[in-house]
Amino acid sequence: MNAFIHHFTFEFRTGIRNKQLLLMNYLFPLGFYLMMGFVMAEINPPFREDIIPAMIVFGILAATLLGIPDPLVNARENGVFRSYKINGVPSISILVIPALTTILHLVIMAVLITATAPLLFDAPLPVNWLNYALIFVALSFACAGLSVLIGVVSPSSRMTVLWSQLIFVPSMLLGGLMLPYSMLPDVAQKFAQLLPATQAMNAFNGLAMGKVAAFFPWGSVIILFISGVLAFGLAVYLFSWDSRNTTRRGHPLLALLVLLPSVVGIFLLP
């Protein structure tokens, strides 16, 4: 327990101390939130209704997908994991603790957005706070798992950026943050359901913000949780202490199994 506390404390401080992580955890999400609030809310007034869930989803995507994988790859390439292994740091701690500390930073970010949006932009507050918190946890868990998995299977920082952007950019365009899901063409809607952002926006609308969900909202919450469990499980299974390890347990393409819950959801969710 003592080791967990020291490890957690160090990783949490790193989220503020490290300029790249500070940018991804706070400056980028909060800066984007203020910009969108002042600009988009003027151009498109109905956006005020979505500003809280949309900017929280954006913050979670930025902090996890853009913040978690790269430090994992760098640590592996610089021999940090080897040093950890010799000193008895378990692989599960290496993967789970950065995810937990990022989620704690995200809680702070979410509180700041939720508290200020009604005052600054006249944004409506959630009508069901419990569901609001539950969906926040589900999305954070799923995205953190996905990000850890990207860090584990990426052979280099360049590949990390590629994989992360493959999820981040479509999430921005199709995830319901800027444009309502209902306005997308049918094919784009099916593709969008593969994205955690779409599931989270659907759940926020149907379960927390008092709006109508595009498809079964509890299904979205379940998909996010199962995706998170699957992502962390695959990350632990595929974890390698260093890049020259020739005895890896599975092929990195196994990571694509993380899409399974969303694919099943496309066919099952009404």
Our CB check for another protein shows the closer of 182 and 247 to be 247
Whole-number Å distance between alpha carbons of 51 and 93 = 35
Q: How far is the CB of 27 from another protein (least distance, A)?
A: 17
The three-point CA angle 201-160-68 to 5° equals 60
Q: Which of residues 24-83 bind another protein (CB under 8 A)?
A: 71, 75, 78-80, 82-83
The three-point CA angle 123-125-130 to 5° equals 155
Is there binding between residue 185 and another protein (CB under 8 A)? Answer: no
Is there binding between residue 250 and another protein (CB under 8 A)? Answer: no
Q: How far is the CB of 130 from another protein (least distance, A)?
A: 36
Is there binding between residue 6 and another protein (CB under 8 A)? Answer: yes
Whole-number Å distance between alpha carbons of 24 and 160 = 15
> Residues in contact with another protein, total (CB under 8 A)?
29
Q: How far is the CB of 187 from another protein (least distance, A)?
A: 44
Our CB check for another protein shows the closer of 5 and 187 to be 5
Our CB check for another protein shows the closer of 7 and 48 to be 7
Whole-number Å distance between alpha carbons of 260 and 237 = 17
Q: Which stretch binds another protein (CB under 8 A): 8-16, 57-65, 155-163, 184-192?
A: 8-16
What is the DSSP annotation of 6-46?
HHHHHHHHHHHHSHHHHIIIIIHHHHHHHHHHHHHHHH-TT
Q: How far is the CB of 75 from another protein (least distance, A)?
A: 6
Number of H helices, E strands in the chain: 13, 0
Our CB check for another protein shows the closer of 5 and 43 to be 5
Is there binding between residue 17 and another protein (CB under 8 A)? Answer: yes
Whole-number Å distance between alpha carbons of 3 and 96 = 14
Our CB check for another protein shows the closer of 72 and 110 to be 72
Is there binding between residue 14 and another protein (CB under 8 A)? Answer: yes
What dihedral do alpha carbons 167, 62, 70, 95 form, nearest 10°? -90
Is there binding between residue 91 and another protein (CB under 8 A)? Answer: no
Q: Which stretch binds another protein (CB under 8 A): 108-116, 177-185, 221-229, 243-251?
A: 243-251
Whole-number Å distance between alpha carbons of 108 and 204 = 19
Q: Would you say 193 and 213 are in contact if contact means Cβ atoms under 8 Å apart?
A: no
Q: Which of 5, 6, 148 is nearest to 72 (CA)?
A: 148
Is there binding between residue 245 and another protein (CB under 8 A)? Answer: yes
Is there binding between residue 128 and another protein (CB under 8 A)? Answer: no
Whole-number Å distance between alpha carbons of 121 and 28 = 19
Q: Which residues bind another protein (CB under 8 A)?
A: 2-3, 5-7, 9-10, 13-14, 17-18, 71, 75, 78-80, 82-83, 85-89, 241-242, 244-247
